Amino acid sequence: MKIGTVKGIEVNLHLSTLAIVGLVGFYAASFYYSLTGVLDILSLIIVGLINGFIMLFSILAHELMHSIIALRHELNVSEIELYMFGGVSNIEEEPRTPRSETIISAVGPVTSLIMGGLFLAPFFLSISVLGLSIPAILYVTLFYTGLTNISLGVFNFLPAFPMDGGRILRAYLWKRRDNLLSATETASKVGYYFGWAFVGYGFFEIIFLGGGLIGGFWLIIIGFFLSNSSRNAYRQTVYEFKLSKLSAREIFTQPEESIPFDMKIKDAVREYFMKYRRSYFPVSKDGDVVGVINVDDIQKIPMKDRAEKIIGYAMENVKDFPKVNVDETGKEAFNKLKQEQKSPKLVAVEEENKVIGFIGQNEISSAIRISDLLFGEKI
C-alpha cells in the first residue's frame, strides 16, 4: 500500500508492518503498567499506539536516509517498503565503491542512534538534572522510544549481511581484497551463521528462560529470515556480476514467429499457441513488433468475442514494456526485469529504435548457467 512519495521514491506500507506497531506497543504498554501499577485499558492502548507509531516513523527515517544518500551517490532507488522485519530501501544496483557502500550502509543505524539520543536527552535532563516529575505517558514514550531506537541502531550494526553492519563488513573486505564477489561470499556466510545463532538463542530463551515466549519466537523468525536473506543477497550479487559481463545482444531471444496484428484471436490460438506451445508471442504490423500477446490476455476476452476480435485488440503495446539497447549490459536488463509488474515479465531489446527481441526470466537464467563456461564463477 503506497503511503507517499519522498524525492521521487515511493514509500509502501505492507500490512505485516502492523506486527511491529503491535509488538512495540505491547512492550511499551507493559512498561507503562509496571511503572504505574494502574490497569487502565484506555491509557495502555494510548501508550501502545503512540510508541508503536513513533517506532514506525523511526524505521521510515532510517530507510529514508539510506535512500537519500544512495541517490547522492547516483544510485537508483525504486521504493522504500516497510514490512514485518522493519524496512528496506530497494536500491536497484550495488554501490560502485567500498567507500560509497560504507557511507550508504552506516547512515541508517547512525540515524537511529541519533533519534534515540534525541528522545533520551530530554528524559535524562528532566529526571536527573532538573529533578522534574513528568507524566507517566511522556516518561514511557521518551525512555522507551529512545532505548528502542538505540537498540535498532546497535542491532543494525551487527556484521550480518545483508544487514547494514554486514554491508559495512563487505565494504571492508571488498577494499582489502579488491574483489566484490569474494567479499560478498564471506559477508553472506557471516550473515547466515548469525541467522542460525538467532534461531538457536530463540529456542534457548523459550525453553530455558521462562517467560521469553514472544521474544524467543521473534528471534527465531528473524534468524530464519536473516539466514535466507544472506544467501539470496549473495546469489543476486553473483547474478549481477555475471550479467554485467554480457550484453543484451548476447542474451535476448529473437522471435522466430510473430502474430499479425489483424489476425482473429481464435485463429491465433489455433495457429500459434496450439502449434508452438508458447505462453506469449510478439505481435507484428508492417514488419515491426508493436506488441505482445500472452495466454492471460486472451483469457480476459469473452469466448464469444474471440472469433471476431483481432489480436491487436488484446495485445500489450510494446511501448509499455521496459527497454534496453542491444549494447547495454545484461545487468541493466535484469534490474529492469525485477521491477516489471505486468505479465509476461519481459524487457524489450531495441536496435536503431526498433524492437528486435525480448529478455525474460528464461533468458536470464540460461545466460547465468552458460556464463559459468565463460567466467567459471559458481554460486
The predicted pLDDT at position 195 comes to 96
3-state secondary structure the chain: CEEEEECCEEEEECHHHHHHHHHHHHHHHHHHHHHHCCCCHHHHHHHHHHHHHHHHHHHHHHHHHHHHHHHHCCCCEEEEEEECCEEEEEECCCCCCHHHHHHHHHHHHHHHHHHHHHHHHHHHHHHHHCCCCCCHHHHHHHHHHHHHHHHHHHHHCCCCCCCHHHHHHHHHHHHHHCCHHHHHHHHHHHHHHHHHHHHHHHHHHHHHCCCCHHHHHHHHHHHHHHHHHHHHHHHHHHHHHHHCCCEHHHHCECCCCCEECCCEHHHHHHHHHHHHCCCEEEEEECCEEEEEEEHHHHHCCCHHHCCCCEHHHHCEEHHHCCEEECCCEHHHHHHHHHHCCCCCCCEEEEECCEEEEEECHHHHHHHHHHHHHHHCCCC
User: Residue 57 above 70 pLDDT?
Assistant: yes
d(CA 77, CA 90): 6
CA dist list (Å): 360 to 255, 265, 288: 12, 24, 20
**Of 173-177, 221-225, 265-269, 338-342, the least confident:** 338-342
Position 104 pLDDT exceeds 90? yes
Query: Is pLDDT above 90 for 209?
Result: no
- Sign of the torsion angle spanned by Cα atoms 111, 8, 333, 87: positive
Percent of the chain residues past pLDDT 90, beyond the cut: 60
Q: What are residue 111's phi and psi, to 5 degrees? A: -60, -45
Q: What is the pLDDT of residues 7-42, one digit of tens each?
A: 888 899 888 888 888 889 998 999 999 888 878 889
Q: State the pLDDT at residue 131.
A: 67
pLDDT given for residue 379 in this prediction = 46
| Model confidence pLDDT, tens digit, residues 112-137 | 999 999 999 998 888 776 667 788 88
**Residue that wins the pLDDT comparison between 259 and 134:** 259
Rg (CA), the chain: 26
Q: Read off the pLDDT of each residue in 210-228 and give the average, rounded to a whole number.
A: 86
**What's the CA dihedral at 198, 200, 201, 206 to 10 degrees?**
120
CA–CA–CA angle 232, 234, 236 (5° rounding): 70
As a whole number of angstroms, the distance between CA 258 and CA 103 comes to 49
CA 57, CA 118: separation in Å to the nearest integer? 14
Task: Look at the chain and count its residues.
Answer: 379
What was the pLDDT predicted at 213?
A: 77
Asked if pLDDT for residue 377 goes beyond 60, the answer is no
Q: What is the mean pLDDT of the chain?
A: 90
pLDDT at residue 130 in the model: 67
Q: Are 7 and 66 in contact (CB under 8 A)?
A: no
Share of the chain above pLDDT 70, in %: 97
Lowest mean pLDDT among 84-93, 159-168, 342-351: 84-93
- Is the model's pLDDT at 243 over the cut of 80? yes
Adjacency order of strands within the sheet including 323-325: 323-325, 347-351, 354-359
What's the grid cell of residue 184?
A: 560478498
When mean pLDDT is compared over 3-7, 214-218, 256-260, the highest value belongs to 256-260
* pLDDT above 70: residue 268: yes
Confidence of residue 247 (pLDDT cuts 50, 70, 90): very high
C-alpha to C-alpha distance for 20 and 362, rounded to whole angstroms? 37
pLDDT classification of 214: cutoffs 50, 70, 90: confident
Nearest-angstrom CA–CA distance, 340 and 336: 6
Q: Say if CB 158 and CB 198 are below 8 A apart.
A: no
Average pLDDT over residues 293-308: 90
Domains of the chain with bracketed CATH: 2-243 (no CATH), 248-375 (3.10.580.10)
User: 34-55 burial string, b = 16+ CB within 10 Å, else e?
Assistant: eebeeeeeebbeebbbbbbebb
Place of cell 581484497: 177
Residue 110 banded pLDDT, cuts 50, 70, 90: very high
Task: Give the whole-angstrom CA distance, residue 279 versus residue 359.
Answer: 14
> Is the Cβ–Cβ distance between 326 and 275 less than 8 Å?
no
